[in-house]
Amino acid sequence: MKITAIHETVVPISSDIRNAFIDFSRMTVSVVAVVTDVKRGGKRVIGYGFNSNGRYAQSGLLRERFIPRLMGVDSRTLLNDAGDNLDPHRIWACMMANEKPGGHGERSVAVGVIDMAVWDAVAKIERKPLYRLLAERYRGGSADDQVFVYAAGGYYYPGKDLSALQDEMKKYLDLGYTVVKMKIGGASLADDLKRIEAVIKTAGSGKHVAVDANGRFDLRTAVEYARALRPYGLFWYEEPGDPLDFALQAELARHYDGAMATGENLFSMQDARNLIRHGGMRAERDWLQFDCALSYGLVEYLRTLEMLKQHAWSPRRCIPHGGHQMSLNIAAGLGLGGNESYPDVFQPFGGFADNMPVENSHVRMPDAPGIGFEAKANLYAVMRNLAAG
């Protein structure tokens, strides 16, 4: 068997939302199709992948380096020992040949997109949902049958007032979510507190509300917010400072005894390890949001989980950024704490299988082989076009 082609394209996911750091008016996503010569159910197996929101499509790197490397080697070197399926670890090593260490950004997205497609193909070839395959390979077989999800929204956008914000959150609650997340740091502290109080009123209490500063604050502002947020007993206080300012994070922990969350902008095991080593994160209380689709894929995420284990962190403390089905499979298969969900934005990439309602902030897994893209009609429509082209 072999990979016969890898297609890639760019899809806009622009919107007029804004967080404290960027607007999303020109946001794009790469979508790839890894086409194999294996047939299942009479059709050739095609694995699909894409990157999460927040970083951009990676056409250049995919075309200049990563796709040519995979298509340029003896295809047998990309297979497992039995020669009957792709080997994601060997494929990863091939993509990263002659890449220097350090500098983990952009290429981590390009590799992550292909890695996602490879795992989709691998599970399809084994005729299993990916989460079951992962549970079998790495967790002695036991998979979670449902995954905690929270609704991420509450962005800033032009003309949005408090009642519009409350309406948005009310909709998430009506959809079955019990925890909602909103942006902070794009307004004054006083205005943000009004927004937070409005959302708490809708959600019932602070423990149902998470807030996200998207790395905007310096230490002084982060501490100012921490003091103001503390009485609310929030679900978490996310990414207060620059994602690489581990000293800020560690110092902030001395001023905030509620849960904190960060990690969506750390794109390698090494960067994640530095957060654990130097960031003062508390293993019994805080949350880690590393997103494989931006971070060299699941092959690297397995290294990150192993690193966490060595530092006595449970995988249950991981709730990845990104709201995509890949992390949902990892969560169910490897026993993470949950997954982000964007009920409203980043369509068709956000969200999970159709006809899988969220109940009590948990979502069940579809039975489809692979990651489950075929069970999400609007997303599969984009992907199917790519493979045809």
Q: Does 371 bind a copy of itself (CB under 8 A)?
A: no
Catalytic amino acids?
183, 321
Residue 185: C-alpha distances to residues 1, 18, 20, 155, 193 (Å): 51, 11, 5, 11, 10
Q: How far is the CB of 267 from a copy of itself (least distance, A)?
A: 5
How far apart CA 360 and CA 358 sit, in angstroms, is 7
Quote the least distance from Cβ 185 to a copy of itself, whole Å: 12
293-352 residues near a copy of itself, rule: CB under 8 A: 294
Q: What is the largest CA-CA distance in the chain?
A: 62
Nearer to a copy of itself, 248 or 365 (CB): 248
Q: Determine which residue in the list 43, 81, 100, 389 makes contact with a copy of itself, applying CB under 8 A.
A: 100
Stretch that binds a copy of itself, among 104-112, 124-132, 177-185, 361-369 (CB under 8 A): 104-112
At residue 284's C-alpha, the angle toward residues 283 and 290, to 5°, is 45
* 56 lies in the binding site for a copy of itself (CB under 8 A): yes
Q: Which of 94, 105, 348, 384 binds a copy of itself (CB under 8 A)?
A: 105
How many whole angstroms separate alpha carbon 389 and alpha carbon 279? 46
CB of 265 to a copy of itself, least distance (A): 3
Q: With contact defined as beta carbons under 8 Å apart, do 301 and 272 qualify? A: no
- Kindly tell me which of 136 and 242 has the beta carbon lying closer to a copy of itself: 242
Q: Does 357 bind a copy of itself (CB under 8 A)?
A: no
Confirm or reject binding of residue 254 to a copy of itself (CB under 8 A): no
Residues with Cβ within 8 Å of 295's Cβ and at least 6 positions away in sequence, in order, are: 104, 108, 112, 266, 267, 268, 301, 304
The verdict on 173 binding a copy of itself (CB under 8 A) reads: no
Can you tell me which of 8, 35, 50, 54 binds a copy of itself, judged by CB under 8 A? 54
Q: Which DSSP symbol is given to 108? A: H
How many CB atoms are closer than 10 A to CB 24?
18
- Listing DSSP states for 175-200 in one string gives HT-S-EEEE-SSS-HHHHHHHHHHHH
70 binding a copy of itself? (CB under 8 A): no
Strand ranges, E, within 136-235: 146-152, 180-183, 209-212
**Does the protein bind a copy of itself through residue 267 (CB under 8 A)?**
yes
Which of 7, 55, 124, 132 forms a contact with a copy of itself (CB under 8 A)? 55
Q: What DSSP state is assigned to residue 253?
A: T
Beta carbon of residue 266, minimum distance to a copy of itself (angstroms, whole number): 6
Contact residues: a copy of itself, CB under 8 A = 21-26, 54-61, 63-65, 97-108, 214-215, 242-247, 265-268, 270-271, 273-274, 277-278, 294
